[in-house]
């Protein structure tokens, strides 16, 4: 029962901490427009050459056309395959990709385990012995779980080696970077050891079913997790609570970077939300240390922007 309580508590920390992480960029003042093109939600014709709806005659009189499909075509390879790293630093990609994709596969395996548990609680016929859908689900759990464990361990070892052997990486790697990587590697290692004693991952299915019922749905004849399995559950729970408290939560912040900053080309219409947000920004009193700006905390952005260059000195 103690393992379930720990997992519940860590899941609660994850939800609260991630909620605070998401709330912060939402509550920040409106950002300065980047004007970078192509913007991926444009139509395919304009994305091809970096065009914008602003080039159309009387664009403000036309309906706003956006393509979610064009965004997904760009985001999916970037998130899942790390396309940007492949282009900019291919040597690092060879160890960073298995690390990240291993984590993705572990999340996918847990999602499949939850689906299996929900079907079991509902008495779904698909989980009857010999049913093809049940065998398919079991096979996907094993495939995702073992692929994630293998790739995750390879990626962790590879990143450790690259951080220690590459002078450029070693110079700016902090203690937190090594600690985070070691924490994740310890989880992968314990989960791999637990899997060696339970290749079909039946214990993982039983534990996930117990999570949904606080252990009441498990038969007394089912043995508890092994030492390695219990360690893997503890580490996975603690890691779930720990990630949103660190910079590793960038996986969620990417949404705001792309959609709320890089691809935000919404027009500033009179009387609209953007105009109201800009007016609010102009009332802020910045405290920049650059003397030529004159941001001393007393003058507002409106006063600074309205002054002549050098006047604020």
- CA dist list (Å): 295 to 277, 283, 309, 313: 20, 13, 13, 10
Predicted confidence at residue 241, as pLDDT, reads: 95
Predicted confidence at residue 219, as pLDDT, reads: 52
Q: Over 60: is that where the pLDDT of 120 sits?
A: yes
* 93 band by pLDDT with thresholds 50, 70 and 90: very high
Q: Name 83's Cβ contacts closer than 8 Å, sequence gap at least 6.
A: 77
Both structure tokens of 247: 């910079």
Angle subtended at Cα 46 by Cα 43 and Cα 49, rounded to the nearest 5 degrees: 145
Task: Report the alpha-carbon distance of residue 307 to residue 59 in Å, rounded.
Answer: 33
More confident residue, 127 or 150: 150
Q: Over 60: is that where the pLDDT of 111 sits?
A: yes
Both structure tokens of 256: 């705001």
Kindly state the DSSP code that residue 125 receives in the 8-state scheme.
G
Of 30-34, 133-137, 148-152, which one has max mean pLDDT?
Answer: 148-152
Of 7-21, 26-40, 205-219, which one has max mean pLDDT?
Answer: 7-21
Predicted confidence at residue 231, as pLDDT, reads: 94
Predicted confidence at residue 293, as pLDDT, reads: 80
- In tens, the pLDDT along 257-274 reads 888 788 888 888 888 888
Phi/psi at 9 (5° precision): -65, -40
* 213 band by pLDDT with thresholds 50, 70 and 90: confident
Task: Report the alpha-carbon distance of residue 165 to residue 159 in Å, rounded.
Answer: 10
* 223 band by pLDDT with thresholds 50, 70 and 90: low
Of 104-108, 122-126, 167-171, 293-297, which one has max mean pLDDT?
Answer: 104-108
Average the pLDDT over each of 97-106, 185-194, 215-224 and give the range with the smallest value. Answer: 215-224
Average the pLDDT over each of 219-228, 265-274, 298-307 and give the range with the smallest value. Answer: 219-228
Predicted confidence at residue 224, as pLDDT, reads: 65
Predicted confidence at residue 87, as pLDDT, reads: 93
Average pLDDT over residues 4-8: 92
- CA dist list (Å): 232 to 15, 150, 211, 220: 21, 15, 15, 22
As a whole number, the mean pLDDT across the chain is: 87
Quick one: how far is CA 63 from the chain centroid? 33
Angle subtended at Cα 209 by Cα 204 and Cα 22, rounded to the nearest 5 degrees: 85
Contact criterion met (CB below 8 Å) for 146 and 195: yes
Q: Over 90: is that where the pLDDT of 247 sits?
A: no
Neighbours of 225 (CB within 10 A): 19
Residue pointed to by tokens 């990143």: 159
More confident residue, 217 or 3: 3
Predicted confidence at residue 310, as pLDDT, reads: 60
pTM: 0.84
Contact criterion met (CB below 8 Å) for 103 and 153: no
* 149 band by pLDDT with thresholds 50, 70 and 90: very high
């Amino acid at each position: 029962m103690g393992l379930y309580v720990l997992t519940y508590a860590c899941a609660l920390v994850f939800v609260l901490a991630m909620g605070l992480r998401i709330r912060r960029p939402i509550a920040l003042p409106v950002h300065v427009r980047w004007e970078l093109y192509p913007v991926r939600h444009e139509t395919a014709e304009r994305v091809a050459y970096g065009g914008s709806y602003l080039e159309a005659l009387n664009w403000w009189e036309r309906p706003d056309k956006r393509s979610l499909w064009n965004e997904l075509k760009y985001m999916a390879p970037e998130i899942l395959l790390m396309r940007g790293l492949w282009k900019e630093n291919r040597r690092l990609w060879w160890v960073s990709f298995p690390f990240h994709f291993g984590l993705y596969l572990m999340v996918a395996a847990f999602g499949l385990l939850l689906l299996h548990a929900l079907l079991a609680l509902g008495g779904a016929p698909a989980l009857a012995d010999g049913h093809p859908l049940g065998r398919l689900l079991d096979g996907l759990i094993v495939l995702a779980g073992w692929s994630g464990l293998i790739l995750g361990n390879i990626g962790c070892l590879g990143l450790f080696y690259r951080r220690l052997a590459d002078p450029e990486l070693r110079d700016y790697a902090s203690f937190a970077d090594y600690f985070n990587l070691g924490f994740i590697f310890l989880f992968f290692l314990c989960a791999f050891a637990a899997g060696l004693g339970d290749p079909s991952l039946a214990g993982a299915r039983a534990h996930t079913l117990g999570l949904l019922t606080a252990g009441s749905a498990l038969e007394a004849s089912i043995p508890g997790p092994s030492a390695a399995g219990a360690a893997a559950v503890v580490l996975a729970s603690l890691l779930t609570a720990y990630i949103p408290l660190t910079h590793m939560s960038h996986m969620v912040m990417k949404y705001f970077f792309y959609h709320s900053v890089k691809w935000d080309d919404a027009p500033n219409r009179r009387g609209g939300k953007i105009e109201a947000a800009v007016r609010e920004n102009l009332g802020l009193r910045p405290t920049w240390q650059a003397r030529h700006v004159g941001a001393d905390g007393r003058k507002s952005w409106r006063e600074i922007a309205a002054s002549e260059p050098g006047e604020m000195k």
